[in-house]
Amino acid sequence: MITSKHTKLGQDLSSSEISDIVLGETAFSSCHKVYDAHLMAVKNVEVMSERRMTNAMIRGLFLEQSVADWFYYLLCEEIKDTDIVIEMLDPQDASRPQDYNPDLAKYGLGASVDRILVCSEDVTVVVAGFTFHLKKGKNILEIKTDYYHTGKCKPEWQIQVQHQMICTGTQCGIIVCKDQTGKLNIYQSNINEKMCKLIMKKAEDFWRRIDEEDPYPPIIKQEDQGLRSKTLDETILKKTNQDVVQLTEDYLVASVEERKWKKTKDKLKEDLSDVLDSLDLDVLTIPGQFQIKSHYSEVEKYTIEKKPTGVMREQHSFTVKEIKDE
């Protein structure tokens, strides 16, 4: 688990921890490690760290300042011939939602925001080939260094920024990622009411578990021929934009009435594939209900006579399996 700069264990569920709570686990940690660390802090028990910081974590700490300054320089260059003023702030204290709304204190959230961009007016800017929008007033700036970047914004990054917007009362943010090629990648993140409600619901459940010493159940992983696979609690995605359970049930109905529902089935298939793709998964299992597989691979094209052409094409394998009775 990454240690936050300004938040406190046993008091604040931080941005670096919230993705583990919402998704179950990320590349660096899991809901179980976050739970254990906070429980020990609440009990005033000092424990040795389970592991040292990884090279990626250390690299990110040292490069944050330089990446932020580099991006800010490019941003200022883009607006230098306008009357727009953008100031970059480096917060030295944790931000908490109760600072602007006391009713939100019960969720126990706190964020160590990398940077805040304060704009004199709304502006749309192009930096490093990426177009993004900043609102008048405060905007979140989240800095990432990812040396295995695939050109996509990771779901956990978006969750972190949504958490930071809750903690700061802001409506807009951007994620700036320096990748393995030295290139900057910039991703927009606007406030998402459904995701914010999910974050607060998960945070409330987290502190209930701490109070009642009720640990999270084990995360069951699926091993399927080397495919990226994860078993997720159905409630994890239940309140997001795409309800995976409902999409899956509709897909199975459409399969029975394929002629009548051809267009509907194709659209549901596309929606489900997009969900798995956004999570970087090939297999998603909803315990006791469904297993969804969406896998892309390259195969060789053949002629009508079934002779190889030497030309490769992309093949999409997609299946939905009902596992209620298993």
Give me the phi and psi of 242, to 5 degrees please: -115, 110
Give me the sign of the Cα torsion angle 5, 158, 123, 109: negative
Domain residue spans of the chain: 54-204, 229-322
Percent of the chain at pLDDT exceeding 70: 83
Fold (CATH) for 54-204: Lambda Exonuclease; Chain A (3.90.320)
The pLDDT confidence band at residue 51, using thresholds 50, 70 and 90, is very low
Of 9, 1, 15, nearest to 162 by C-alpha is 15
**In sequence order, what DSSP letters do the residues of 123-176 get, joined into one string?**
EEEEETTEEEEE-SEEEEEEEEEETT--SS--HHHHHHHHHHHHHHT-SEEEEE
* Residue 152 scores a pLDDT above 60: yes
Q: Which residues pair with 132 in a beta bridge?
A: 125
The pLDDT confidence band at residue 277, using thresholds 50, 70 and 90, is confident
Task: Give per-residue pLDDT as tens, 227-270.
Answer: 666 655 544 454 444 566 667 766 766 665 566 567 778 888 88
Per the CB < 8 A criterion, the answer to whether 285 and 291 are in contact is yes
* Residue 225 scores a pLDDT above 90: no
Strands 123-127 and 283-286: unpaired
